[in-house]
Amino acid sequence: MSARIIDGVALGKVIRQEVAAEAAALKARGITPGLAVVLVGENPASKAYVGSKEKACLEAGMHSVKVTRPAEITEAELLAIVDQLNTDPTIHGILVQLPLPKHINTERVLLRINPAKDVDGFHPVNVGKLVIGDPTALKPCTPWGVIQMLTRNGIDTKGAHAVVIGRSTIVGKPMANLLIQQGPGGDATVTVCHSRTKDLPAVVRSADIVIAAIGKAEFVTADMVRDGAVVIDVGINRVDDASLPKGYKLVGDVAYAEVAAKASAITPVPGGVGPMTIAMLLANTLQAVKQSS
Ligand code: NAD
């Protein structure tokens, strides 16, 4: 079998266009959706992510605010910025780019964000709402993007055995929680594998849908995947490649070529889950606006 490629660039664009159309309709009613992104320090990857988020926000016709502060900012100063954004009526979504410098308590900062503006979906109120199936939950962008990739590509999760590899708060756990919800994109039978799982390859081989979010280059090999499985690769890993000008290339958590030969559908890296994350951030901002008005 040769896998169908699930194109995250194309789907991300469709979702961004849908968001832009809804944002234009809201604007006509005098409401401009606003997203604030807070960047602390000089981490190059974080700077690049924040730049892409700002650009996508402006392209969708939204109001974008970027707050940048040096790594030496105190926790109290950062909390004061969050407080100010929490009460700013022009801001509907707040995102504090992680990781934060070590002297700042990340949990405390995330807890301070008004859950109604928590477009990353990391506040315990939104985590709890997701678990109980409350539709007003703001859902973490990456796993929510994966659900869109499945449903909008006609991949039925109902009754399917979905194996999620990785149990992080950002990807693995919310991914599993989304897949067990009732309704489209849910109703799956879910197994979560992690670093302590016994005979992980055997568990993954029993999956109709494999979702890899481990952070280990090409960890999932063809022998772990059964014929016709759907494979979603969340991983983004840099591996050295002296033949390239940058000296590295990006690969996922899945050994793409060999697994694509066995799977029925697969996401590439880059161009798969990555572009969906920013699209869902915009969609979440829109959801936050609609729930606030
Ligand atoms: P994380 O490091 O927080 O979590 C990794 C998880 O993998 C852990 O739960 C751990 O138990 C599990 N794990 C590690 N080694 C394992 C092993 N040998 N066997 C089984 N399980 C193992 O990472 P994360 O934040 O969840 O990110 C995972 C990957 O997804 C990374 O490559 C990251 O860059 C990528 N990511 C991509 C996007 C995107 O937009 N595409 C967003 C977030 C994360």
Q: Per residue in 115-172, pLDDT tens?
A: 999 999 999 999 999 999 999 999 999 999 999 999 999 999 999 999 999 999 999 9
Query: Is 227 among the residues known to form the active site?
Result: no
Query: Is 291 among the residues known to form the active site?
Result: no
Q: Kind and range of the H or E element at 277?
A: helix 273-292
233 Cα–ligand 1 center, Å:
10
Burial 69-104 (b: 16+ CB within 10 A, else e): eeeebebeebbebbeebeeeeebbbbbbbeebeeeb
Q: Establish how many alpha carbons lie within 13 A of residue 28's alpha carbon, considering only the half-sphere containing its beta carbon.
A: 6
Give the model's pLDDT for residue 277: 96
* Residue 28 CA to its chain's centroid (Å): 30
Question: Would you say the CB of residue 276 lies under 6 angstroms from ligand 1?
Answer: no
DSSP, collapsed to helix, strand or coil, labels residue 187 as coil
Catalytic residue among 13, 17, 27, 53: 53
Give the model's pLDDT for residue 2: 84
In angstroms, rounded to a whole number, what is the distance separating the alpha carbons of residues 86 and 184?
33
In angstroms, rounded to a whole number, what is the distance separating the alpha carbons of residues 160 and 180?
10
The whole-number average pLDDT for the span 231-259 is: 96
In angstroms, rounded to a whole number, what is the distance separating the alpha carbons of residues 279 and 14?
9
Ligand 1 probe mutation, 168, 219, 224, 267, most atoms within 8 A of CB = 168
Say if residues 5 and 268 touch (Cβ distance below 8 Å). Answer: yes
Question: Would you say the CB of residue 277 lies under 6 angstroms from ligand 1?
Answer: yes
Q: Is pLDDT at 46 greater than 80 in this prediction? A: yes
In angstroms, rounded to a whole number, what is the distance separating the alpha carbons of residues 178 and 80?
33
Give the model's pLDDT for residue 286: 98
Q: Examine residue 101 and say whether the peptide bond preceding it is cis (omega within 30 degrees of 0).
A: no
In angstroms, rounded to a whole number, what is the distance separating the alpha carbons of residues 94 and 99?
15
Q: Is pLDDT at 223 greater than 90 in this prediction? A: yes
Catalytic residue among 117, 118, 120, 253: 120
In angstroms, rounded to a whole number, what is the distance separating the alpha carbons of residues 208 and 222?
14
* Residue 180 CA to its chain's centroid (Å): 18
In angstroms, rounded to a whole number, what is the distance separating the alpha carbons of residues 283 and 15?
8
Question: Would you say the CB of residue 207 lies under 6 angstroms from ligand 1?
Answer: no
Give the model's pLDDT for residue 293: 73
Which residues, at least 6 apart from 251, have a Cβ–Cβ distance to it below 8 Å? 217, 218, 235, 237, 239, 269
Query: Is 181 among the residues known to form the active site?
Result: no
Question: Would you say the CB of residue 252 lies under 6 angstroms from ligand 1?
Answer: no
216 Cα–ligand 1 center, Å:
7
Question: Would you say the CB of residue 216 lies under 6 angstroms from ligand 1?
Answer: yes
Give the model's pLDDT for residue 1: 66
CA angle 102, 108, 113 (to 5 degrees): 120
